Amino acid sequence: MDKKPGDSLIIMTELVLPNDTNLFNNLMGGRLMYWMDIAAALAATKHCGAPVVTASVDNISFENPIKIGNVVHIEAKVTRAFTSSMEVHLKVWGEDSLMQQKYKSNEAYYTFVALNPTGKPAAIAHQIIPETEDEKRLYEGALRRRQLRLILGGKMKPQDAEELRALFIGSKD
C-alpha cells in the first residue's frame, strides 16, 4: 500500500535553553542538526515501519538564527522512497513566543536507509504518492538530488545520471 507524504509527517518542538546556544545567544547549528536528525528519523521510521539509519545530510541552508528563549519547530516528512532509502525534507521555524512572531530558520534534506533485523538494508514496501503541488515538486526533485548524492559519494558515474543530464544537456529525443 502506497502512502502520502503527510502520512510520515513529524512536527517536533524544542525550547532553546542556555546550554543550546553559542556566545552570541543563538542556537548552535550542531544542536539544531541533532534535533533535525531525530525528527527526520522519526518520519522515515513512520513511513517504512522499520529501524533506519542516517545515510546522508545535505543542502542545509541557514537563513535566520534562533535566539535563546525562542521555540524551534521542525517539520519532517518523506518526499520519496527508493529501494531501501528514503529522502526526508525538513523545514525549521523559530518562534519568539513573547512577540508572537514565527520566522523561517532553515531547511534541509536527509537520507535514511531502512534496516532488516540483521542490520542490513531492507526493501521499502511503501512508495510515496504526492498530492499537493509542493509535494509533487519535492518528489520529482528527489531523484535528481539522489543522483547528485550518489555521484558525490563515488557510487554513480556522472554519465549514468539520466535525470541530471536531462537538466543540463536536454533529453535524448
- How confident is the model over 56-81, as a mean pLDDT? 94
Q: Give the list of residues 6+ apart from residue 9 with CB closer than 8 angstroms, or none.
A: 43, 75, 76, 77
Q: What are phi and psi of 160, to 5 degrees?
A: -90, -5
pLDDT over 70 for what percent of the chain? 98
Q: Which fold has domain 5-131?
A: Thiol Ester Dehydrase; Chain A (3.10.129)
Distance of CA 98 to the CA centre of its chain: 29
Asked whether the whole model's pTM tops 0.75, one would answer yes
Query: Each residue of 4-25: pLDDT tens digit?
Result: 999 999 999 999 999 999 999 9
Of 38, 46, 57, 50, the C-alpha closest to 115 is: 50
Please state the domain extents for the chain.
Answer: 5-131
Q: Which residue has the higher pLDDT, 59 or 125?
A: 125
d(CA 41, CA 117): 17
- Tell me the three state secondary structure of residue 108: strand
pLDDT over 60 (residue 172): no
The CA-based angle 55-57-60, given to 5 degrees, is: 170
Cell for 85?
Answer: 532509502
One-letter amino acid identity for 128? I
- Residue 170, classified by CB atoms within 10 Å of its CB into exposed (0-12), middle (13-18) or buried (19+), is exposed
36-40, 56-60, 122-126, 138-142: the lowest-pLDDT one: 56-60
Beta strands in 17-100 (DSSP E): 52-62, 71-81, 85-96
d(CA 44, CA 122): 13
